[in-house]
C-alpha cells in the first residue's frame, strides 16, 4: 500500500485529543468536558482510514494486516498487565467484571459490554479499569464495516452520496437515542459512526487556502471551549456533541503552514501525538486501579500515575508499536491476532473457573421457619432445618458472615436474618416509597419481629452483632464513613450522636440478656479508603464499644481490620465489592472468631 502524505498537524491534533481525555480522567473537576477528546479521535480516524481506503493500490489484505499490527500489540500488553494486576488485588466481583471487559476488548465489542454494564459518567465507572476501551470498540467495528461500504460505493460511483446518507442516518439515530436511550447513543456504534464519517467527508474536501488559518484556529477554539464548558452534568449525549466534532473537522480540513498548523506540527505536539494510542490505553487502567485502592487519591498520587502512563506509553510505542507497524509480514499479523484470541480465551476460562460469590439473601429452610415479608431487602438464611443456635443479627454486614460461620461451625444451626442496624429505640428516617425495609416505622416492626421469633423462641448460645456501623468524629458527631463529611442518619439524639447510637446498641444487648454469648464485629475494610483513614473514622465508635464490652461479661469485640489489614493495605481480595466480604473473607473472619473463643457459652 503506498504511503499517504504525512500530516504532522494531525499528530498534533491527536495530542490535543489525548491530553484532554487524560486531564478529564485525572482531574474531572478541572476539565469537565475533556471527554470530547474521544470525539476528536473519531473524526481523525474517519479521515485517515478513508484516505487509506481511497489510495490507488489499496488492498483489503494489506489494510487489515496493518490494522492488526497497529492495534493488537499494545492492546494485548495493556489487557494482560491489567488482568494480572486485577487478579492479584481486586475483589472477586470486580475481577470477574474486569475479565468480562478484557474479553470485550479483545473481541472488539468493548462498547457493547460497557453499554450493558455501567455508565461512563457513573461514579462506579472509575473503578472499572477497562471501561475506556468502549471507544476502541466503536473504531474497530468501523474498520470492519467501512472498507466494504467504500469499495462498493466507489464501484457504483456514489461515494459522496453514500457517505452523506449514512452519516445523516447515524446522526439522526444519535439524536433520537439521546432522548430515549442515552446509553445507547453514547456507546453503540450506529449512533457514533457519524463522527467518523464527518472525518471521511474531508478526504476530498478542504477549506480554501486563504481561509485555512482562521478555520483551523476556530476549530481549536471550538474543541477547547467544549472541553472547558461541557461536563458530566451537561445534557449529554446530544446536540452539543456537534461542537467538538465541527471543531475537529475544521482543523483536519485546514492543512498548511499557518499559525495553528505550525502549533500542531511542533515537535512537542507531534511527540505526544505519536504516543497517543498507547497513552490512551495505559492512562485509564492506571488511574482506575489507583482509585480502587484510594477513592480520593492525593494530587501527588494522580500526577505520579499520569507520569507513569506517559512513561509506559513511550516505551510501548518505541519497543512495540513502531517496530511492528513498520513490518509488512502478514504472518506476524496473523500471529498477533491468534495471540489476542488466545488471551481472550484465557480470560474467558479464568472467569468461568472463578468460584461464584454467593449473592443469596434467603433460603427455603429459613423462609419456611420465618415467613416474615417486609418491604425492601430481607436476609433470611438458615444452615440447618432446625431451631438456630447461632444468630447473625444486623444488616448485609451480618449476612456476609454467614458463609464463613456456617462453614467454621458446622455443628451449629446458623441463622442470618434481618436487614437493619442492630439497635433498639432509634429511628432511621427515609422515603416511605423508597423500598427500604429499615426506614421510619418499618425498622421497629422488623426489630420487634426478630425479638419475638428469632431471639426469644430460639435456643441460642451465641449472637453476632455486625453491621455497616456508623462513623463519628472526636466530638461524637456523626460523619459519612466514606467522605468524613458531617451527616445525620438517625434519631432521636440526646447528647451526642455517638451517645445515642451506643445507647441503641446497649438496649439491643439488654434484649439479648446475659445468658447468651455476644460478639460485636466491627466494620470491615472499605476498599478505596486508606487504612489509617478508616481507623481514624472508626476510632470513637470502636473505643466506646470496647468499653461497653468490658462492662458485660458475655460480650466480646472483634475487629476484622486486625485480621484483614496491615498498617497500610488490606487484603482487598477478601472483599467481593467495596465493603462486603467474599466467601474466602467470610471464612477468614469466622476463623478469627473461633480462634478468639468468641463462640464459647456465656457464663
Beta pairing class for 517-521 and 462-466: parallel
Q: Quote the pLDDT of residue 9.
A: 96
pLDDT over 60 at 349, yes or no: no
> Given pLDDT bands bounded at 50, 70 and 90, which one contains residue 348?
low
- Cα-based angle 241, 133, 220 (whole degrees, multiple of 5): 35
Q: Is 35 exposed, middle or buried (0-12, 13-18, 19+ CB in 10 A)?
A: buried
Instruction: Tell which CATH classification among 1.10.3720.10, 3.30.70.270, 3.40.50.2300, 3.40.50.1110 matches the domain 364-595.
Output: 3.40.50.1110
Q: Give me the residue spans of the domains in the chain.
A: 8-353, 364-595
pLDDT in tens, 353-410: 555 555 568 888 998 999 887 777 788 999 999 999 999 999 999 999 999 999 999 9
Distance CA 322, CA 261 (A): 24
Distance CA 60, CA 31 (A): 40
> Given pLDDT bands bounded at 50, 70 and 90, which one contains residue 5?
confident
pLDDT over 60 at 584, yes or no: yes
The average confidence (pLDDT) of the chain is 87
Please report, rounded to a whole number, the percentage of residues in the chain having pLDDT higher than 90. 54
pLDDT over 80 at 339, yes or no: no
pLDDT in tens, 158-202: 989 999 999 999 999 999 999 889 889 999 999 999 999 999 999
Q: Quote the pLDDT of residue 1.
A: 43
- Cα-based angle 163, 199, 212 (whole degrees, multiple of 5): 120
Cell numbers that stand for 4 in this block:
499517504
Q: Quote the pLDDT of residue 600.
A: 47
Distance CA 17, CA 34 (A): 8
pLDDT in tens, 52-100: 999 888 889 888 888 888 888 899 899 989 988 887 777 767 777 888 8
pLDDT over 90 at 599, yes or no: no
Q: What is the DSSP string of 533-568?
A: HHHHHHHHHHHHHHHHHHT-TTEEEE-HHHHHB-SS
Q: What is the DSSP string of 167-218?
A: HHHHHHHHHHHHHH-HHHHHH-GGGTHHHHHHHHGGGG----GGGHHHHHHH
Asked if 541 contacts 498 with a C-beta cutoff of 8 angstroms, the reply is: yes
Higher pLDDT, residue 172 or 326: 172
| Secondary structure (3-state) at 417 | strand
Give how far Cα 42 sits from Cα of 5, 48, 207, Å.
20, 10, 20
Q: Is 184 exposed, middle or buried (0-12, 13-18, 19+ CB in 10 A)?
A: middle
Q: Quote the pLDDT of residue 86.
A: 84
For residues 130-159, average pLDDT: 92
pLDDT over 60 at 334, yes or no: no
**pTM strictly above 0.75:** no
Give how far Cα 598 sits from Cα of 542, 543, 576, Å.
18, 19, 25
pLDDT over 70 at 345, yes or no: no
The torsion defined by the Cα of 214, 216, 218 and 221, in degrees rounded to 10, comes to: -140
Asked if 543 contacts 580 with a C-beta cutoff of 8 angstroms, the reply is: no
Asked if 54 contacts 46 with a C-beta cutoff of 8 angstroms, the reply is: no
> Given pLDDT bands bounded at 50, 70 and 90, which one contains residue 468?
very high
Q: Quote the pLDDT of residue 601.
A: 41
Residue-wise over 517-540: b if at least 16 C-beta within 10 A, else e?
A: bbbbbbbbbbbbbbbebbbebbeb
For residues 567-585, average pLDDT: 81
pLDDT in tens, 252-305: 999 988 999 999 999 999 999 999 999 999 999 999 998 887 777 889 999 999
Q: Is 246 exposed, middle or buried (0-12, 13-18, 19+ CB in 10 A)?
A: middle
For residues 554-568, average pLDDT: 89
Cell numbers that stand for 311 in this block:
512513561
Amino acid at each position: 500500500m503506498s504511503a499517504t502524505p504525512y500530516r504532522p498537524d494531525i499528530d498534533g491534533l491527536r495530542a490535543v485529543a489525548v491530553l484532554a481525555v487524560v486531564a478529564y480522567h485525572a482531574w474531572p473537576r478541572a476539565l469537565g468536558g475533556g471527554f470530547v477528546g474521544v470525539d476528536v479521535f473519531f473524526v481523525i480516524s474517519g479521515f485517515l482510514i478513508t484516505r487509506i481506503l481511497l489510495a490507488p493500490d489499496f488492498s483489503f489484505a494489506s489494510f487489515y494486516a496493518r490494522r492488526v499490527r497497529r492495534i493488537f500489540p499494545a492492546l494485548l500488553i495493556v489487557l494482560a498487565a491489567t488482568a494480572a494486576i486485577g487478579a492479584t488485588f481486586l475483589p472477586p466481583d470486580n475481577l470477574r467484571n474486569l475479565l468480562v471487559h478484557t474479553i470485550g476488548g479483545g473481541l472488539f465489542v468493548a462498547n457493547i459490554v460497557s453499554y450493558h454494564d455501567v455508565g461512563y459518567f457513573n461514579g462506579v465507572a472509575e473503578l472499572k479499569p477497562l471501561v475506556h476501551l468502549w471507544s476502541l470498540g466503536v473504531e474497530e467495528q468501523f474498520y470492519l464495516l467501512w472498507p466494504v461500504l467504500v469499495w462498493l460505493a466507489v464501484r457504483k460511483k456514489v461515494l459522496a452520496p453514500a457517505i452523506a446518507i449514512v452519516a445523516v442516518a447515524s446522526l439522526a439515530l444519535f439524536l433520537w437515542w439521546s432522548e430515549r436511550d442515552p446509553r445507547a447513543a453514547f456507546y453503540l456504534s450506529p449512533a457514533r459512526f457519524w463522527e467518523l464519517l464527518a472525518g471521511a467527508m474531508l478526504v476530498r474536501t478542504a477549506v480554501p487556502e486563504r481561509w485555512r488559518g482562521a478555520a483551523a484556529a476556530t476549530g481549536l477554539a471550538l474543541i477547547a471551549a467544549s472541553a472547558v464548558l461541557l461536563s458530566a452534568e451537561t445534557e449529554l449525549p446530544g446536540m452539543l456533541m456537534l461542537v467538538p466534532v465541527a471543531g475537529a473537522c475544521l482543523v483536519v480540513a485546514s492543512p498548511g503552514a499557518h499559525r495553528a498548523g505550525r502549533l500542531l506540527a511542533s515537535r512537542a505536539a507531534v511527540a505526544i501525538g505519536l504516543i497517543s494510542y498507547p497513552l490512551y490505553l495505559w492512562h485509564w487502567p492506571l488511574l482506575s486501579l489507583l482509585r480502587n485502592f484510594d477513592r480520593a487519591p492525593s494530587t501527588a498520587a494522580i500526577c505520579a500515575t499520569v507520569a507513569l502512563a506517559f512513561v509506559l506509553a513511550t516505551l510501548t510505542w518505541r519497543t512495540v508499536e513502531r517496530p511492528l507497524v513498520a513490518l509488512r509480514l502478514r504472518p506476524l499479523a496473523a500471529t498477533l491476532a491468534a495471540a489476542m484470541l488466545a488471551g481472550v480465551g484465557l480470560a474467558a476460562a479464568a472467569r468461568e473457573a472463578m468460584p461464584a460469590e454467593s449473592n443469596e439473601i434467603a433460603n427455603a429452610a429459613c423462609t419456611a421457619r420465618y415467613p416474615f415479608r417486609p418491604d425492601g431487602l430481607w436476609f433470611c438464611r438458615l444452615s440447618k432445618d432446625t431451631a438456630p443456635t447461632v444468630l447473625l443479627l444486623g444488616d448485609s454486614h451480618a449476612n456476609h458472615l454467614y458463609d464463613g460461620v456456617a462453614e467454621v461451625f458446622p455443628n451449629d444451626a446458623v441463622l442470618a436474618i434481618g436487614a437493619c442496624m442492630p439497635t433498639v429505640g432509634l429511628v432511621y428516617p427515609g422515603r416511605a416509597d423508597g423500598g427500604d425495609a429499615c426506614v421510619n416505622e418499618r425498622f421497629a416492626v422488623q426489630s420487634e419481629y426478630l425479638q419475638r421469633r428469632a431471639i426469644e423462641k430460639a435456643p441460642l448460645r451465641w449472637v453476632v452483632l455486625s453491621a455497616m456501623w456508623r462513623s463519628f468524629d472526636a466530638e461524637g458527631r456523626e460523619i459519612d464513613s466514606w467522605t468524613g463529611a458531617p451527616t445525620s442518619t438517625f434519631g432521636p439524639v440526646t447528647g451526642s450522636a455517638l451517645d445515642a447510637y451506643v445507647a441503641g446498641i446497649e438496649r439491643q444487648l439488654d434484649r439479648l440478656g446475659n445468658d447468651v454469648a455476644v460478639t460485636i464485629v466491627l466494620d470491615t475494610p472499605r476498599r478505596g479508603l486508606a487504612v489509617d483513614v478508616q481507623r481514624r473514622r472508626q476510632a470513637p465508635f470502636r473505643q466506646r464499644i470496647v468499653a461497653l464490652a468490658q462492662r458485660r461479661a458475655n460480650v466480646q469485640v472483634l475487629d476484622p481490620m486486625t485480621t484483614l489489614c496491615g498498617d497500610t493495605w488490606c487484603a482487598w481480595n477478601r472483599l467481593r465489592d467495596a465493603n462486603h466480604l467474599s466467601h474466602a473473607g467470610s471464612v477468614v473472619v469466622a476463623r478469627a472468631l473461633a480462634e478468639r473463643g468468641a463462640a464459647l457459652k456465656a457464663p
